[in-house]
Structure 1
Amino acid sequence: MVRAPGRPGIGLPVDTGSSRPRYSLFMAGKTASSRVAARRRAAVEEILAAAWQLAGEHGLAGIALRELAGRLEMRPQSLAWYFPTKNVLYDAMHAQGHEEFLHVLDSATERGPLDVRRAAHVFADFCLASPPRYQLMTQRTVPGFIPSASSTVLARRAFGAWRAALAAAGVTDPDAVDVLTAVVKGVVDQQVTADPAGDRYLRHLDMVIDMFLAHPWPAP
C-alpha cells in the first residue's frame, strides 16, 4: 500500500556527480528529510510498476487512475499527490523508459564497444522486452500526451547514447545512423504488431543488418 506523505516533483534532472546527468522520477523538497524522501521515491516507483502492469493488461490508453489507485490500495486523492493527471503519469513512465535504456546501454558496453549487430540486438531486445514501454517511448499512441521538456531532454540523451554506441561500432555517417535506427525499429514494429509472442520478424534481424553493412556508406 502506498501512502501520500506530500507532493513530490516529478521528472526533474538531478546531478549525481557522474559524467551523465541522471533523471529522477522524484525530487524531494528542500526541507524534507532523507527518510521521507526515500519513502516518497519508493512510493513513486511502486506506482510506476503498477502502471506498467496495467499498460501490459489494457494498453497504455487503457490505464485508469482510479483502477491504478485501487490496485495499490490507495485513495484516488492520495494518488493525485504523486500524479494529478494521466499525462503526468505518462511523462514519468516515458522518462523512466529512457533512463532504463541508458542503463541497458551502459551495461552492454561495460566490457568494451559493441559491434553493429550486437548494438542492433541490444536495442531490439530492449524494445521487445516491454511493448507498452517501447510504444510510449517511440510512438504517439496516447492521444493528447506530449512529453515534458525535461523528459524530452532525457529522450535526446538516450538517443545520443545510442549514436555513441554506433559510432564506437564504426557507424558515424548521420544518414547511416538514421537508416539503421529506422531499419531496427521497423523490425521491432512488425514483431510487436504482428507476432508479439514469437520471432517471425526478429529472427531476420541479422540478415537485415548484413544488408545494411553491405551498403557502401561513406568512410568515417
Structure 2
Amino acid sequence: MKHEQIVAFFDGRGTAEITLRGAEVAQSNTIAAVAHELGYRLLETDIVTRSQWRLTYLRDDSPDVRRRAQHTRARLRAGGPLFPPSVPAGMPPVPGRQIAPMEAVSARQNVKAYETHGSRGLVVIAGLLSAAFLVLAWVAREAIGGAVALLAAAALSAAVAVLIPRWMRNWYERNRGRVARFDWQRSRQGGPPPPPAPPRPVE
C-alpha cells in the first residue's frame, strides 16, 4: 500500500477503518505514523486472522493535533513530503539523536502496552515457573545433580520475578522518553508555513 493510498483513509472523516491482508499487515506501523501526522489515533485493532487485520482510527480533535494535521495537509498540497524534514529550511538543527516516525510509533505502542497491562503478567509467569521448578526439584530429590539444577532454575526464576518490575519500568521510561523527544522535535519542525500550492495550468 502506497503512502497516497494510506493518506486517502485519513481525509477528515470521524472514523477511518482499514483492512489489511497478507503482506499489508507489515505496514501497520507505517499506517500508524501517517495517522499520527494527519491527526488520528488508533482506537481498535481487530486481528481477524494472522493475515487479516482490521484497524479502526478515530480523529483526534484536540487543537494541537488539528494544527499538526493542517500543517501536514498544507505541506502535501504544496508538493512536500508526508513526514516533515528533520531540519526545516530556516530553522536551527534539532540537537541530539533524531527519533524517526516509525520508531516513535513503536515507542507509543510500547507505552500504551505497559500502561494497559503493566508487568504483573510477566511476574506471575516467572513466579509460576519458579514454583514449578521447586516441585520438580522435590520430585527429583533422589537424583542430586538434577535436583540441584532444578533448584538453581527455581532461584533464577524467582530472581527474575523480583527484577521484572524494575526492568519493565525502565523500558517504559525509555519509550516514554522517545515519545516525548519525538513530540518535541516534531514541534521544532513546524517552522514557517509551507508555500501555497502552484496554480493549475490554464488549459
TM-score bucket (shorter structure): under 0.3
Normalising by structure 1, report the TM-score: 0.25
The structure with more radius of gyration? 2
Normalising by structure 2, report the TM-score: 0.26
